[in-house]
Structure 1
Amino acid sequence: MPPPTENDEGEEERASLRELLAQPNAISLSDVERAYADYLEHAFPSLFLSRTSFLFYLARHNILKEASGGGDLVKDLLSIERCILRSSPHLTTNYLFLGDYVDRGRWGFEVFLYLAVAKLLNRDRVFLLRGNHEFRLTQEKYKFKEELLLKYGSTYGLKFWDLVNYVCDRLPVCAVVGGALFAAHGGIPFSLTDLGTINQQTPRVLPEPDRVAPWVWQMLWNDPMDWARFLEAAQLQKVVPSAANYTYMYLFNAKRGTAYVFNDYAAAAFLKANRLQAIIRAHEVPEELGVRFNFPGRLCTTVFSCSHYTNRMNNECSVLLVGGEGRIRVLRIDTRLNKPAMM
C-alpha cells in the first residue's frame, strides 16, 4: 500500500540535504560513532521492552507536545529545555511527546536520539507516543530513511533505520492523562472506540498497524473538523450524514487519502463513553500560536511544538501543561531566533 499523502516538499528537502552532505565538513561515521552505533543496537531494545500494555495512564502535571522533525526541532528542543526542562536530566514532572520525531527536516535522527536518551535517563517521567511518521512506508516517502543513508552509508544507515523502527513498532499510540484527557497523535478512532477493548485487542508489536489494527492507524491519521466544514466535506463526498452508519460523526479523510475526519459529536460521544473530559492531539500545524481549540468547550486541542515547519511556515510552537482535574495551560515557547533548518 502506498503511504498516505501530505503536503509533499520531499524532493526539495532531499536536494537540500544532499547539498549539505556534499560540503567538505559533511557528516562521516567515525570510530567513536561506530562504537556508539553498536551500543545503540543493544540499548534501544531495552528502552521499551518493559511496556506491559498498549494503553497507559499517567498522573497529573504532564507536559504534552508534538515533536515533529520538520523545521528545526533541535533548536526548538533546546528552547523547550531552557524553559521547562531546567531540572534535566533529573525530571520531577511527566513529559508526554505526541509523535512525529522524524521526517521533513535535516535532524530527524538527532531528534530521535535526544528523546531516546531522555527516556533512558527518566524511564518513569518521559513517554513517547507513536505518530504517523513512525512508520516505514511514511519514512521512505518523506526522507528519513534517505537521511540516514546519506549521513551514515548503507551499512550503518540501514542499521540505524532498523533500530529506530524496532522502537517505533513498540511505541504506545495513546495515553490517558490524569484520568481526564485522551492523548494521541492524530485523534480518536472510528472502528473501535472503547479504550478497554482497544487495550486488550491491540498487539504490542505493530510493524503494519494499517493492516493489523485499523483503530491504531486511525489514531495516527485522523483529524478533527468543525461542523460547517464537515457538512461541506459530506456534500463533496456525496454523503448524507446518517446515524445508521455514523456518517454524522465520521467521514473519509480526503486530505490525507486515508483514515477519517471526526466532528464535535464524535468527540463528545467518545469522551462520554470513556468517562473523559477532552482530547489532546497534534498532527496539524495551527496557523500562528502553536495551539488550536478545535471544538466549542475545548473538547479537542491541537498542539504543535515545532517552529518553522517544513521550513516554509513561520508558525510558533507551544506545549501544554496539564494540572489537577485535567486543567490545561498553554505555554508558548519563544523560537523567534530559531531559523529554519533548511536555509
Structure 2
Amino acid sequence: MLEPTPAAPVRSVDALPGARLASLLASAPAQPLVLRGLVAHWPVVQKARQATNSTQAVSDCLLNHYAGATVDAWRGGPEIGGRFFYNADFSGFNFERQRLRLDTVLDTLKQHADDPAPPAIYVGSTTVDTCLPGFRARHDLDLAPHDPLMSLWLGNRSLIAAHQDLPDNLACVAAGHRRFTLFPPDAVGDLSVGPIDLTPAGQPISLVDFRQPDLARHPRAAAALARAQVAELGPGDAIFIPSMWWHQIEALDNFNLLINCWWRDAPAWMDSPMNALMHAVLSVRDLPVEQRQAWAALFDHHVFRAGPDTTAHIPPQARGLLAPLQPDTARQLRAQLLRKLNR
C-alpha cells in the first residue's frame, strides 16, 4: 500500500507588533493562517518562555485570576496515550468527565509532569471570563468588528481527533507546543467521520489517527492527507482556523495551555446548521433516490444557491419565509418547526 503524501505546511506570516489583526486575516480569507509571535507580549506567554519553572509560573499566572469555579475535565488512564476517543465497542468513550476545580487540575498536571506515561487530563472550551475574571484585560486581541468568545484549553500530552467547529477560530498557544493538522470542509468523505449523535464534545469526529493512519482500515485517509495542511506552534504563536475546517490537534508537552477566540459571521438568532442536518436525516435521507434528487434540487434553489433571483418574481410583501430572516420571523419559524416536530 502506498504511503500517504506528507501534508503541506500552513501558510505562515510574522505578526509584527502593531500589525492589524483584521488585515492579516483578510489576507487569507477562508484559509488557515499561522501568525508567528502574535501573542508573544501576553504576560502568561512570557512566563512560559522565560521562567525557569514555566509550569509553576504559568499556573501562578492563572491562579492569580481564579475565582473558584469548577471546570469540565476529561480524564483517561495512561493506556490511552492521551488520545481521547471512543471505547472499543463505540458504546461510550475511553475517558471520564469530571467537574474539578482548576487548581486541582493544575496540581495534578504538576504531580505527573515527569511521568513517562502519565494519566491523561484535558480541560477544554472553558470560558475565560467566567473561570478567570480579569485575565482577559491583559490577554486580549483586537478582532473588531467581531466580539469573540475567549476560551482556555489546558492539559498534558493529548490528541483531539479531527473535527469541525461552526465559528471562525483564532487559537493562541500560551504554553507548550501544539501540532495542528487541517483539512478543507469538502474532505469529509475521506475522513471516516464517526456518529453524529454520540460524540465526545458535540461535534462528529474523524475515526482516523492522522499521526499514524491505519490505511488498511481507512484507505481514503491517504487522499485526505494529500490535501492536509500542518503547522506546529510554540508559545506566542497563533493559528486562524476558518469555520468548518476539520482540525486534529496534538498537545506535545507535559503542560500545555491554549487560549482561543471564536466568532460567527451570522446573526445571534440563527440556529446551528447541525440541527438542519439531523432533521434532513430524519426526513430526507431514507427516501427513494429519485425523491432525494428532487429534494436536492429544492435545497439548492432555496438554500445553497439562493440569491436575489430566487424570489425576484414574488412581490416583496408576499415573500414570507423566503425573504431574508429577521429575529421575529426566525422566532415564528422556530415555533412552527417545534409544533411540527411535536406532533
- TM-based fold match above 0.5: no
TM-score (structure 2 length as normaliser): 0.25
Higher strand proportion (structure 1 or 2): 2
Q: Which has the higher helix share?
A: 1
Structure (1 or 2) with the larger CA radius of gyration = 2
